Amino acid sequence: MPEITDSPAVAGGGAVATAPQPPAGPGGERAKARSLWSDALQDLSRKPMFYVSGLLILFLVFVSIWPGAIAGGNPLSCDLAKSQMGATSGHPFGFDTQGCDVYTRTVYGARASVSVGIFSTVGVAVLGSLLGGLAGFFGGWWDAILSRISDVFFGIPILLGGVVFLSVVKGGTVTTVSVFIVLLGWPQIARIARGAVITAKQQDYVQAARALGASNTRMLLRHIAPNALAPIIVVATIALGTFISLEATLSFLGVGLKPPAVSWGIDISQASSEIRNAPHMLLWPAGALSITVLAFIMLGDAVRDALDPKLR
């Protein structure tokens, strides 16, 4: 005879239908549902590129905050008697045309470049997400007006706009350059945010919240914003490296940061005419700039792959 197993029964003798349960883990406990963010963190933990870029960025942030920890000299202290001299004891990168220590200036130059990149990225992400998110959520005339304004800003090359805008603004400082980048850099984030919000607001959980009487503010902050952040974070991370490169380009052209500010772009500009006589003047600041931009682009690529389920 077949083995009879015990099961709950109703009055009519039939078994009670039970809801399917998630599979049990190795220890017998039920597995917890994973979110996009937990999957992304798990994916990032397996990527060597994430650790390499993360360590480089942490080191750059440390150098930007405490440059004196690894460079004890003064970047503005120069000795013309040492003009264009090569590496010597205590000065591993040599000296520039003014007799300033290239190593010290390279270390202190990270502060201005990284500061511009971070301030610009935060400003662009906040402004672009706010305008694009509201346009995507409310639609209608607000969306139409924002789309036309963003089209106008997209038609302005950011480098050309920087040359024109910063040429008429006196005093090239970190604040001035960052404000300019925010003014011309927000449309890209706005379009990404608009598309993400339009996609999120069509999901069933948002429609259910609307049917239950949730306010627009609650739906935006509680249901839509957390699910629209992933593409914004990816674009902002990659854009940070681009903004650092943009600051160096503007400073190289003489319209960005200006002396006595210490910047990689300024040092590259001053060393470009002496590349044959003293190539070390160009090599170190240009190398530091390249590694910094590469680190942020690598981090952005790793985050993009982790936050996009289709790529996984």
Q: pLDDT tens digit string along 8-59?
A: 444 444 444 444 454 554 554 454 556 666 777 787 888 888 899 999 999 9
The number of residues in the chain equals 312
Name the phi and psi angles at 78, rounded to 5: -130, 155
Return the residue matching tokens 């992400």.
Answer: 125
Q: pTM above 0.85? A: no
Quick check: is 288 in a domain?
Answer: yes
Beta carbons of 138 and 195 less than 8 angstroms apart: no
Q: Which two tokens stand for residue 160?
A: 């050309």
The Cα 299–Cα 290 span in angstroms is 14
Quick check: is 12 in a domain?
Answer: no
Of the pLDDT bands very low, low, confident and very high (cuts 50, 70, 90), residue 150 is confident
Domain around 127: 110-307
Quick check: is 3 in a domain?
Answer: no
Q: Which residues of 62-89 are buried (b: 16+ CB within 10 A; e: fewer)?
A: ebbeebeeebebebeebeeebebbeeee
Confidence (pLDDT) at 268: 93
To the nearest 10°, report the CA torsion of 163, 164, 165, 167. 70
| pLDDT, tens digit, 9 for 90 and up, residues 2-20 | 444 444 444 444 444 444 4
Domain tally, the chain: 1
Mean pLDDT of the chain: 83
What are the Cα distances from residue 2, in Å, to 5, 58, 183? 9, 66, 77
Confidence (pLDDT) at 281: 92
Which amino acid would we find at residue 145? I
Quick check: is 21 in a domain?
Answer: no
% of the chain at pLDDT higher than 90: 33
Quick check: is 236 in a domain?
Answer: yes
| pLDDT, tens digit, 9 for 90 and up, residues 233-287 | 888 988 998 999 999 999 998 888 988 889 999 999 989 888 888 898 999 999 9
What are the Cα distances from residue 113, in Å, to 20, 22, 173? 55, 50, 11
Q: Which two tokens stand for residue 169?
A: 């603004």
Quick check: is 253 in a domain?
Answer: yes
Quick check: is 97 in a domain?
Answer: no
Quick check: is 89 in a domain?
Answer: no
Question: How distant is the alpha carbon of residue 31 from its chain centre?
Answer: 33
Domain of 293, CATH number, reads 1.10.3720.10
